């Protein structure tokens, strides 16, 4: 691609749409609105500190977590952007107790439901460390025109029609998949467009980075502790000891490991006996992306996207990244427990 040949997100979406004879353009239209909402959030993230958008909201969300002003800002903007696009009949968010049904004539006819973590890595906002947005899109199960129900949201990750994330980092990137591989787009602020920067992202089968919050070590399952020791042992033939890298923002840790190779782990901990990460709007969309890049994503025993969800904010243990690394930690969990 020469320097003048720019493929914008919208061009890429439309080009890809023509590959799906059955596509009626509604998913393309929806993805276009995701891009627009991401640009709006990016604008606020990039000037955070200059406007009154940092710090606590003084409220807690359904998770019992203190909401940051940017959590609420991102949530509100994604909800209004997706409401205005008319392709989504209902939306579920980490920041809302239950789903929001868009009960207007146009949205009722929307074929999709949308799930999101509007701002991932909130603890990093006030200290200028990268954060993200994660989204997951399903075809509704209920009849078009009717009210959405929880059945539309409690679908296994394998049913996702699209998923992706936005990374507000040193540059702002949007990475998404519709099941035909993953591609990455970098926002060019000079033209306000997400431009194709990573045509195809494939994750190395092996990696030499492990990401985990070591502060929880004492309470990790025995299999995870043994795997961490394996990562830290000296064995030049297998490039060990690996490097430990942990940003505390799932999107950032996953994105680095996707490109360089590596494993991200969030096992059960004392404060999160079922795991911390939410199945529907963190683990499933990231698992879709990771698998499409040739990686693996499990709960330590089975594929994340095969799990049948039972509740909107359900949490699961999460191991995702280079295929051989995730397989290895599963072997340790099998032998030592986890």
Q: Give the one entry of Mn ion, ligand AHG, none that residue 249 binds, where binding means its C-beta sits below a cut-off of 5 to 8 angstroms depending on kind.
A: ligand AHG
Answer yes or no whether residue 248 interacts with ligand AHG by CB under 6 A.
yes
CA distance 182 to 168: 18
240 and 272 Cβ atoms separated by less than 8 Å = no
CB of 93 to Mn ion, least distance (A): 9
Identify the H or E element spanning 146: none
How many residues in the shown chain lie near ligand AHG by CB under 6 A?
12
**Binding window for ligand AHG (CB under 6 A); candidates: 136-144, 220-228, 242-250, 292-300:** 242-250
Q: Where are the alpha helices (DSSP H) in the chain?
A: 9-17, 26-47, 69-85, 105-108, 222-232, 250-260, 284-292, 323-336
* Distance, C-alpha 265 to centroid of its chain: 14
CA distance 182 to 192: 22
Q: Which is nearer to ligand AHG, 102 or 165 (CB)?
A: 165
Q: What does the block give as tokens for 287?
A: 């698992």
Q: Give the one entry of ligand AHG, Mn ion, none that residue 75 binds, where binding means its C-beta sits below a cut-off of 5 to 8 angstroms depending on kind.
A: none
Answer yes or no whether residue 95 interacts with ligand AHG by CB under 6 A.
no
CB of 312 to ligand AHG, least distance (A): 15
Q: Which is nearer to ligand AHG, 102 or 135 (CB)?
A: 135
Distances from the Cα of 236 to the Cα of 291, 324, 325, angstroms? 28, 17, 16
CB of 266 to Mn ion, least distance (A): 10
Q: What angle do CA 239, 242, 246 make, to 5 degrees?
A: 155
Q: Give the one entry of ligand AHG, Mn ion, none that residue 257 binds, where binding means its C-beta sits below a cut-off of 5 to 8 angstroms depending on kind.
A: none
Distances from the Cα of 216 to the Cα of 138, 278, 305, angstroms? 34, 18, 26
| Closest residue to Mn ion: CB criterion | 120
- Backbone phi and psi for residue 72, each to the nearest 5 degrees, phi listed first: -70, -40
Answer yes or no whether residue 257 interacts with ligand AHG by CB under 6 A.
no
Each residue 188-227 as x (binds ligand AHG by CB under 6 A) or -, in order, gives -------------------------x--------------
Given the rule CB under 5 A, which residues bind Mn ion?
94, 117, 119-120
Q: Give the one entry of ligand AHG, Mn ion, none that residue 97 binds, where binding means its C-beta sits below a cut-off of 5 to 8 angstroms depending on kind.
A: none
Distances from the Cα of 110 to the Cα of 26, 107, 224, 332, angstroms? 9, 5, 43, 45
CA distance 94 to 251: 15
Nearest Cα neighbor of 219 from 276, 257, 263 is: 276
Each residue 264-293 as x (binds ligand AHG by CB under 6 A) or -, in order, gives ------------x-----------------
Answer yes or no whether residue 250 interacts with ligand AHG by CB under 6 A.
yes
Q: Give the one entry of ligand AHG, Mn ion, none that residue 248 binds, where binding means its C-beta sits below a cut-off of 5 to 8 angstroms depending on kind.
A: ligand AHG
* Distance, C-alpha 169 to centroid of its chain: 15
Q: Which is nearer to ligand AHG, 7 or 63 (CB)?
A: 63
For the segment 104-123, give every residue that binds ligand AHG (CB under 6 A).
117, 120-123
Q: What does the block give as tokens for 123?
A: 């603890």
Q: Which is nearer to ligand AHG, 20 or 246 (CB)?
A: 246
Q: Which residues bind ligand AHG (CB under 6 A)?
A: 65, 94, 117, 120-123, 213, 248-250, 276
């Amino acid at each position: 691609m020469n320097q003048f040949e720019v493929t914008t997100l919208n061009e890429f979406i439309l080009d890809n749409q023509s590959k799906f004879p059955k596509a009626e353009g509604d998913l393309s239209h929806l993805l276009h609105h995701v891009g627009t909402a991401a640009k709006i959030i990016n604008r606020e993230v990039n000037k955070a500190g200059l406007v009154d958008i940092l710090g606590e909201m003084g409220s807690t969300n359904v998770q019992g977590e203190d909401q940051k002003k940017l959590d609420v800002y991102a949530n509100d903007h994604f909800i209004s952007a997706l409401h205005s696009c008319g392709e989504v009949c209902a939306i579920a968010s980490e920041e809302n107790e239950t789903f929001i049904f868009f009960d207007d004539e146009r949205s009722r006819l929307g074929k999709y439901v949308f799930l999101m973590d509007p701002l991932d890595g909130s603890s990093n906002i006030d200290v200028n460390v990268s954060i993200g947005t994660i989204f997951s899109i399903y075809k509704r199960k209920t009849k078009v025109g009717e009210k959405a129900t929880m059945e539309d949201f409690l679908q296994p990750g394998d049913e996702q029609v699209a998923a992706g994330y936005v990374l507000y980092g040193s540059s702002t990137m949007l990475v998404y998949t519709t099941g035909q591989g993953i591609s990455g787009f970098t926002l060019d602020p000079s033209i306000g467009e997400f431009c194709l920067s990573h045509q195809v992202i494939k994750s190395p089968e092996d990696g030499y980075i492990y990401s985990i919050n070591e502060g929880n070590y004492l309470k990790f399952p025995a299999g995870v502790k043994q795997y961490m020791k394996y990562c830290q042992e000296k064995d030049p033939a297998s490039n060990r000891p690996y490097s430990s890298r942990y940003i505390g923002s799932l999107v950032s840790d996953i994105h680095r490991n996707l490109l360089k190779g590596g494993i991200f782990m969030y096992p059960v901990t004392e404060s999160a006996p079922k795991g911390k990460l939410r199945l529907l709007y963190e683990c499933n969309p990231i698992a879709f992306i990771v698998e499409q890049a040739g990686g693996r994503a499990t709960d330590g025993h089975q594929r994340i996207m095969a799990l049948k969800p039972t509740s909107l904010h359900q949490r699961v243990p999460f191991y995702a990244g280079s295929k051989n690394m995730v397989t290895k930690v599963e072997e340790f969990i099998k032998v030592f427990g986890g």
